[in-house]
Chain A
Amino acid sequence: MSKRKARDAHLPIGECITQVQQILRERFCERLLPDRPEGVEAQYKHLLELLRRTAIHGESNSVLIVGPRGAGKTMLLQCVLRDLQKEEKVQKNLLQVHLSGLLQTDDRTALKEITRQLHLENVVGDKVFGSFAENLAFLLEALKKGNRSSSCPVLFVLDEFDLFAHHKNQTLLYNLFDVSQSAQAPIAVVGVTCRLDVLELLEKRVKSRFSHRQIHLLSSLNFTQYLERVWTQLSLLDSFPDKKFAQEWNAGVKTLCEDKSVEEVLQRHFNSSKDFRSLHMLLMLCLSRVSVAKPTIKPADLLEASRMCFADATANMLHGLSILELCLVIAIKHLNDVYEGEPFNLQMVHNEFKKFLHRKSNSMYNFEQPVVMKAFEHLQQLELIRPVDGSSAKVQREYQLMRLTLDHSQIMDALQKYPQCPTDVKQWAMSAFG
């Protein structure tokens, strides 16, 4: 009851908190585009200029945007498109076709998608075309304006460009680039990809038609710029309704960024990856701990979020194994040590386990073969052990060869953290040979 009363008194703060969370969430979940993309001014101008020339002057162009995952390629493209649409001439003329390598796995589906996005299904109707090139030419012809002098410029955006290069004969790419080189119709082809060696994937004839224009988004931040970015991502703008709260919040963020332990944590993140996405993930986890009772982000939150980001998933799973399964993992580890990583099967593991039991004369873990089999299968289900590629059909289950997917150090770490591990099991694990 008293909690509810306290909540009523704080309702303005509760509102503020919800608003803050909403704004920051949109920023981190990449729903909202920033006004200007940070740190990529030159690339932004370049791309904008290029697309404007296609849209207004009817010049054909092709360009590739290359950068690692999470570097902001799609964001850059969306910003450019949004700013381009503000001009009236572009809005009326430019047609856009968005294709994705993940969705359109085949050239035929890609062509159907193009037809659909250009709203030309009625025009195509039931026509059958001899080749891809004819089809594409027909589509572009159909876009010509009334006086047949020129056709509308079309912008093709190809996401996951490298996947298109895996299609048969690369027909789509060949034809698109061909059209962009010839004077048929003004099109712009923008490819977005994360592979730096994408040009190696293209065939010779496709590569020669490509203009070799690439925009690289390799972030060259140093640590101080990274810290600044953290600050800008977390702070509230002046447009926030409650001025006093915004000031307090920004002050809190400032003290947070100047804290020593926070700097260390951010340095660690910076060393592993500099891109936006991992930063957003970290800040998202911090944000989830903000509540009415605690309206600012404290250094402890950041530390906890960082710990969650860097947690080893396998160690977490090992923590939850039962004792029998843990003993089997230790037996497998010993087998690997003795036989230097050769594959094993259930019989060998059980044998090793029985040797341990004989030595310790401990009848507590004396389980029957089927129970041990069930534990072994559970390990297989968690993919801690995997069958060796080979004929698994004709071999009995107990004799199927497997490999361990864990590292020696992972097992030893997990043992340290395992709750209430019996001492003899621990000693067995640490002993050198069997």
Chain B
Amino acid sequence: MKILACLHYFILEGLVQCLELKIWSLQGCCHYPSILIYGHRASGKSHVMHVLMKELELPHATVSCVECVSIALLFEQVLLSFFGCDAASLLPRSPSLSDFVRVYRQQCSQSPAKQTRYIVSAVGDNVTVILLSEIAWDKFRPNTGCFEPLLLHFPDYSKSELQQILSQNVHSSYSAGFYSAYINILLGVFYSVCRDLRELRHLAALNFSKFCEPLAEGKVKETDTHKLWKHIEPHLKKAMQTVYLREVSRSELFKEAGALRGLSAHTHVELPYYSKFLLIAAYLASYNPARTDKRFFLKHHGKIRKTNFLKKNEKTSNHLLGPKPFPLDRLLAIFYSVVDSRVALTASIFSQISSLVTLQLLAQVSHDDQLDAPKYKCAVSLDFICAISRTVNFDIVKYLYDFL
């Protein structure tokens, strides 16, 4: 029977044990008008669907909801798959659902279908809609209810199953045992962070050549797992910060062996002297409450009344809530008290502020119309500003209210 052919196909992929039960129940339920299949990313949903459709030779149309940004595209694709392109051209310019149903029914009467048609993700009659989703059905249910779909869950893979599947992609020149040892190490590092099969596959392919380096150089043998682990560990850690976050492309990873950083560490942005102080002043203005300015920035601030300074609990720590907007005057006031030399208030200072905004280190909060009192917010992180203030010999932590 065709189901056995399906299973043979999956055996090659090494997925059988994981999915056998699902395939049986899916095949049995195929004719129900509406099915929702949900499960994590890369848990095999679309793959199983496609193979089933192909093997059982059922007429189907696949639509990806991410690609179809408008309903018209959705309708076109469905009609195209079922009836060919002349049907698709029958749709008017901006078709509504009723136009789609009308054209579909027209075509149906011309070529009646003996078997049910399957639309993987859309709507119709004598048609089964199969929806594949990551989100649970409860989020989708409309208010007055609707035809409840049959919910099928695709369970995620366990660690051993992942190991099994990944070990299938073994390279020809190396033994299976060696590769599965590599996969073991990889999973050990990445499993607690990510369980997505696609990402793990990508990472495995990427780092394998690095892993084999000592072997190629003849320093270690295949069975020397400890040495191999010591060699590969720093690379995997680096990969976690760069490639896993997709900040660095695959080719770049292989180019520079030395100083490879992700884009988030852009400490190599060079700013002029006064701009650095402007940025520091902006950070202080964002993260210190306005009433504490007197204490930090005046030479003689008098006595501080203890009662006003309540013991701050963590929640109101400004570093957790985010930067607050401040007016331009406050920025300049703090700037003047922070910079040691005397600075004239020329246009160059103001132009430096606007260039900081363009660099997206400051964000403009006020509307463009308010030219006399613009407000800004500081958009850099604590690490970044500490690095900058170190370059100008300024101890910023002393001036931050949260670290008192």
Contact = CB atoms under 8 A, between A and B. Distances in A.
Interface string B317-352: 001111100000000000000000000000000000
A116 interface: yes
Interface in A356-415: 364-365, 367-368, 370-371, 374-375, 381-383, 394-396, 398-399
B150 A285 contact: yes
Interface string B109-138: 000000000000000001000000011111
Interface stretch (B28-36, B52-60, B165-173, B208-216): B28-36
A374 B245 contact: yes
Interface string B1-19: 1001000000000000000
B150 A281 contact: yes
Contacts of B98: 103-105, 109, 113
Given A289-B24, A370-B262, A322 B320 contact: no
A308 B194 CA distance: 27
B40 A320 contact: yes
Given A69-B146, A322-B195, A289 B139 contact: no
With most chain A CB atoms within 10 A of its CB, the pick from B28, B152, B314 is B28
7 contacts: A285-B28, A308-B153, A313-B138, A313-B153, A316-B39, A396-B379, A399-B322
B155 A316 contact: yes
Contacts of B363: 394
A321 B147 CA distance: 30
A259 to B, nearest CB: 22
* Top 8 A-B pairs, shortest CB-CB distance: A288-B28, A399-B322, A320-B156, A313-B136, A103-B98, A323-B192, A320-B40, A69-B145
A277 interface: yes
A371 B245 contact: yes
A399 B363 CA distance: 14
B218 to A, nearest CB: 34
Nearest to B28: A288
Nearest to A105: B96
A195 interface: yes
With most chain A CB atoms within 10 A of its CB, the pick from B4, B31, B126 is B31
Nearest to B192: A323
B169 to A, nearest CB: 21
Contacts of B322: 345, 347, 395-396, 398-399
Given A324-B192, A339-B315, A314 B25 contact: no
B151 interface: yes
B27 interface: yes
Interface in B357-404: 363, 365, 377, 379
B250 interface: no
Contacts, number: 150
Given A320-B155, A322-B191, A370 B264 contact: yes
B193 interface: yes
Contact of B245 (A30, A162, A284, A370): A370
B97 interface: yes
Contacts of B135: 382-383
B307 interface: no
A118 interface: no
B33 A29 contact: yes
A148 interface: no
A86 interface: no
Interface in B192-232: 192-195
Nearest to B263: A370
Nearest to B152: A308
A145 B147 CA distance: 41
Contacts of A285: 25, 28-29, 150
A322 B31 contact: no
B123 to A, nearest CB: 9
A284 B29 contact: yes
A287 interface: yes
Nearest to A320: B156
Contact of A317 (B40, B151, B314): B40
B28 A287 contact: yes
B148 A162 contact: no
A311 B145 CA distance: 19
B101 interface: yes
A169 interface: no
Contact of B144 (A3, A162, A290, A367): A162
Contacts of B150: 281, 284-285
A278 interface: yes
B51 to A, nearest CB: 18
B404 to A, nearest CB: 18
B159 interface: yes
A400 to B, nearest CB: 9
B193 A371 contact: yes
Contacts of A102: 97
A313 B151 contact: yes
B43 interface: yes
B139 A288 contact: no
Nearest to B190: A322
A394 B363 CA distance: 8
A278 B126 CA distance: 20
B25 A371 contact: no
